Amino acid sequence: MSDAEHLAGMWWQVLTTAGWQVPESSLVGWVEELLATMTAAEFDPDAGARVGAGLATAGLRDATVPAVSAGVLFRLAEHTDRPDAAARMATVLATLGTGYHLRRAELLAEPEPETESEQRVKLFRAMFERVSIAVALGNVDGTPLLVNPAFVELLGISTEVQKIAPFDHSHPDDMEEIRTLIFDQLVPARTGTVRLERRTLRADGGTGWSRFAITYLADVGGKDYLMAIGEDVTERRQLQDELHHQARVDALTGLANRRELLERMSAMLTAAGPGDRAGLCFVDLDRFKGINDRFGHRIGDQVLIAVAARLENAVRDRDCVVARLGGDEFVVLILPPVDSEQVGAIGADLLEALADPVAVQGHRLPVSASIGAVVTPVTTTDAETLLEAADVSLYQAKTHAQGKVVLHTLVPPA
């Protein structure tokens, strides 16, 4: 065993006994460096400082490390017969202490490296704060504990998070359903996710639409939580509503189209009670083709728009739906309860609404119509059957009573 290895072993034993850990191989290297400067012709006083800094860098941060080390390293003088051995030894131990304390001070001033757990928390916080999706963590009673900026923006929150009560931002009409989904299903089960797309009341008084997934988080640090992840879907809902509207409105007149009429009729049939009767007036303009042929389709379209407005005004105070099926064909659905007398009166009002000429671009164009009307028990028919029956009445009106109302009353089968 070399002198350096022997002395390093003694040094390692002293440090280990004091509770400090450092690789013995590192100590051998430092002892060799110190022995070299002790015996060199030209003394290097900085060798002690380098070894002291090495001790601090190795993680030995106790201020007594240099003194404890000196109890072993004074033996360095025994390995040289130089007359200045004692002076060199004193310098080496002094600079070792200086180098150690300077490096130790630097290291203590630096922040401690983050643990893996701390790094994960930091990453989660960054994601939570910067993600564009709204995120909220709350108690199982629905009260938010923590929300991210996207959640604040979604709801336009202008108060402290802790003061937000459950459902503060839910539309009143939706509250009961949301309560049922969360507190009667999700919370008792203590697991799972419910998905909602409902109206949202913003802090500024506006109304929007939000879609949320609410997940039950059980036994997180000994407690249970609800986590909500959501997004604003107002624009998408508005687009859907607009497309729905466009698909059910006649582009020329603004009246309901055939699709909307059939949906309204189907809803009426579904909601009807025993004995309810409904009416339908099928309105077809007389000699309208002549207007198109003489004045052109642009004038013809203006006439159709004027006729649509007059038909709507004629039944404005009645429970009716006015629709245009196409061309010069209009339908007026008369919702129950009605009878033959009422349907006949409405048909007469519709004819009366068209009695005066229509003024279009300097022209006064006379317009008349033939009307086929039916009255039927609602529970014994369907939408298409009712339309077909009215069409039959219209055919008879056009054939035998042009400019009049032909009324049929459908009798349920025995």
Sign of the alpha-carbon torsion through 186, 191, 192, 197: positive
Alpha helices in 180-257 (DSSP H): 187-189, 234-246
Which tokens go with 1? 């065993």
**What pLDDT is stored for residue 312 in this prediction?**
96
Higher pLDDT, 232 or 377: 232
Reported as type and span, the H/E element at residue 194 is strand 193-201
**What pLDDT is stored for residue 158 in this prediction?**
62
Higher pLDDT, 124 or 316: 316
For residue 275, pLDDT beyond 50: yes
For residue 182, pLDDT beyond 60: yes
For residue 31, pLDDT beyond 60: yes
Q: Could you count the other beta carbons within 10 Å of the beta carbon of residue 245?
A: 10
Can you give the pTM of this predicted structure?
Answer: 0.56
**What pLDDT is stored for residue 162 in this prediction?**
59
Confidence tier at 245 by pLDDT (50, 70, 90): confident
**What pLDDT is stored for residue 394 in this prediction?**
66
DSSP codes joined into one string, 45-59: THHHHHHHHHHHHTT
Which tokens go with 112? 């401690």
Question: Is residue 250 annotated as a catalytic residue, yes or no?
Answer: no
Higher pLDDT, 366 or 385: 366
**Do 406 and 371 contact (CB within 8 A), yes or no?**
yes
**What pLDDT is stored for residue 274 in this prediction?**
81
Q: Could you count the other beta carbons within 10 Å of the beta carbon of residue 207?
A: 10
How far apart CA 394 and CA 388 sit, in angstroms, is 10
Cα end-to-end span (Å), the chain: 121
Tokens 């799972």 found at: 192
Mean residue pLDDT across the chain: 87
Closest CA to 354 of 344, 364, 367, 363: 367
Higher pLDDT, 35 or 413: 35
- Which residue type, as a one-letter code, is found at position 146? L
- Which residue type, as a one-letter code, is found at position 288? F
Closest CA to 319 of 346, 289, 356: 346
Instruction: For residue 53, count CB atoms less than 10 angstroms from its CB and return exposed for 0-12, middle for 13-18, buried for 19 or more.
Output: buried
Confidence tier at 399 by pLDDT (50, 70, 90): low
**Do 249 and 263 contact (CB within 8 A), yes or no?**
no
Q: What angle do CA 273, 276, 277 make, to 5 degrees?
A: 150
Give percent helix, percent strand, percent coil of the chain, each to the nearest 5.
Answer: 50, 20, 25
Query: Percentage of the chain surpassing pLDDT 70?
Result: 92
**Do 230 and 290 contact (CB within 8 A), yes or no?**
no
Query: Percentage of the chain surpassing pLDDT 90?
Result: 49
Q: CATH for 250-409, among 3.50.50.60, 3.40.50.2300, 3.30.2130.10, 3.30.70.270?
A: 3.30.70.270
Residue spans of the domains in the chain: they are: 3-109, 130-237, 250-409
Domain 130-237 = CATH 1.10.10.10: no
Q: Could you count the other beta carbons within 10 Å of the beta carbon of residue 21?
A: 10
For residue 384, pLDDT beyond 50: yes
**What pLDDT is stored for residue 414 in this prediction?**
45
Buried b (16+ CB within 10 A) or exposed e, 349-386: bbbebbeeebebeeeebebebbbbbbbbbbeebebeeb
Closest CA to 137 of 161, 105, 158, 157: 161
Q: Among 83-97, 245-259, 375-389, where is mean pLDDT lowest?
A: 375-389
Number of H helices, E strands in the chain: 15, 12
Which tokens go with 71? 């109890």
For residue 304, pLDDT beyond 90: yes
Closest CA to 136 of 231, 215, 229: 229
Confidence tier at 400 by pLDDT (50, 70, 90): low
**What pLDDT is stored for residue 165 in this prediction?**
63
How far apart CA 25 and CA 16 sit, in angstroms, is 14
Q: What is the mean pLDDT of residues 301-321?
A: 95
> Which entry of 250, 328, 339, 391 is annotated as an active-site residue?
328
Confidence tier at 375 by pLDDT (50, 70, 90): confident
Confidence tier at 173 by pLDDT (50, 70, 90): confident
pLDDT digit string, tens, across residues 183-222: 999 999 999 999 999 888 877 778 889 999 999 999 988 8
**Do 27 and 14 contact (CB within 8 A), yes or no?**
no
Higher pLDDT, 107 or 399: 107
